[in-house]
Structure 1
Amino acid sequence: MKNAATTPRAHPLESAHRTFSIEISALQALDARLDDSFSRAVEIILGCAGRVIVTGIGKSGHVAKKIAATLASTGTPSFFMHGAEAIHGDLGMLTQQDAVLAISYSGSAPELLTILSVAKRLGVPFVAVTGHPQSELAVNADLHLNAHVEQEACPLNLAPTASTTAALVLGDALAVACLEARNFSAEDFALSHPGGALGRRLLTHVSDIMRVGQALPIVQADTSMPDVLREMSHKGMGMTIVVDHNKRPLGIFTDGDLRRLIVRHGDIRSLTVADGMSRHPKCVAPNAMAVEAATLMDANRLTQVLVTDPSGALLGALHMHDLLAAKVI
């Protein structure tokens, strides 16, 4: 065994550049090699009435798990089936409406060959992604996608590196092609990501986060300024809504209106809210997306908007803090 102290070591940056170069070359070769088999694979996935079962074992299994997740989140019902678990009971999840996408660089993993035989008995389409077109899996699959690489980035040419990158990118390409074929939209994406930032932006309605009932600061036009300030302080929205006797909004009185009123009159204790309110306040509908309300508030430099129905009746109010708390902005 060589003494580690005297063994030449590549500089970390040199190693990184070499890894990048090898993996980029592998992807360029894969890109140049793509043919009609890729289109046929997309057709198989799009024609699947059930789920796309993505399977693999070892490092290919990790890649398969990510591909399944990407397919599922972009409009193609899919789940990952571990190759070893599949042959010990999980194959019971496979139905005749499904399709199988199997990842195995060698194309000789015995677990996947067993899955292939079961798929054939069920008449389930089987797409294999391997690095060896003459392997048993590739030859017997309904369709083969060639993910061959000339060399791994590993200097020993042993650890799956360039080969797993090629398989992963090929899976991404399949998912994106299916996404585009389905006209999958940002709104569709949000439905499968309700907990993410995009989901919150595209799925949250004004009615979901608006303040209603006793939480609303409300006064009438003849309310004295001391009472107005008490209502504003108690409700904590930095404003109060001014309504008529039918509870329909006449205007809004904000902290900014208060400052402007003091500048004009000095002592405001004898005034009513009608003397300083802003008429024709900005309003949004309850079924509007919260992000639309945020856009309206930003464009008009507002921190509050009212929520009204089509007839103009007051339903609630929305503060910028409500949007922040809901993580819409």
Structure 2
Amino acid sequence: MSPHIETFDPAATPTADLAAWSSVYTDGQSALSGSAAPAEELATRLRAGRAGRAWRWAARITPGHPIHGVAELRHQHHDARIGFLRLFVADHVRRRGTGRRLREAVVEEARAQGMDRLQSTVLAGEPGESFARASPYLRTLLRLELQKQYLDEPTLRRCWSLAATPARGYRLTHWEGPAPDHMAASFGRVMAHLLDAPGAALQGEAHAWDVPRVREWERQMTLDGSRLVVGAALDRMSDQVVAATVSTVTRGVVAEQHDTAVLPTHRRRGLASRVKATQALRVHDLFPHVEAVAVTINQENRAMLAVNRSLGYQRVSERLLVEEGLDPR
């Protein structure tokens, strides 16, 4: 029997369906990314319209049955012609055509919205990679490594050792939420170098990181209720930010690390490892419920892989960033 696919409106759906949709989504996101907000937190954000603009679908065995598959389509923030797909199916109903039918609905909507490419991340190997490669127009953009840093005693001791010995001429700091006004401009100059990392240009585009852009980025990072934590290194002579790393925290036990950048003239001085050590300590202090920090790194970014190894990060899985062409020609 072919699964039943329907559009999903979080504001209007019954509470039980909202809870089921959120549970399938967060279970899938946790398996894929190593971290996810609790299902009830996602449900609250969806109902209140605080989960961002997106198109969403639900799958059932037949109308009236519980939701067992979900899909979400968003515009990529750096290019409206690219859609980003998240699609998850509950384990017990896989290999029954649910994923295929959901993807067909997403592709139809993406084309209607003027998108010509569809990106997603999938776990390498079975079953995720084989499902993605069912499309003849798919290509792999990046091979990514999912890592976790468990905030246990040995790891925290290592972080304390690094944070207590900043490189000469620098001091380490952190903040929660928006950057202090006197640091916002220099923090933006650091963030402008995110695209220096291998493969980063495939996931974003260059733009000016002035103070208004920093404030908008901070707003977007916390729009879903996440807490923002930044670890930074300051040049003692200028008191300007020269290196930074970013994490977000939800009520889940795994925080998510996003970006780390160092100004070119301040590289190869151990600043990346030290700002990440500072951040781990602050996350541990500010959010005692957090047990680990998860991060995804391009496998070609050997410098950051080495930094993470020194801080106790462990490889969890491999993911692929894939892209499917939607132009029928």
Greater relative contact order (Cα 8 A, min sep 6): structure 1 or 2? Answer: 2
TM-score range, shorter chain: under 0.3
Write 1 or 2 for the structure with the bigger share of helix. 1
In our comparison, the structure showing a higher alpha carbon Rg is: 1
TM-score, with length taken from structure 2: 0.21
Q: Which has the higher strand share?
A: 2
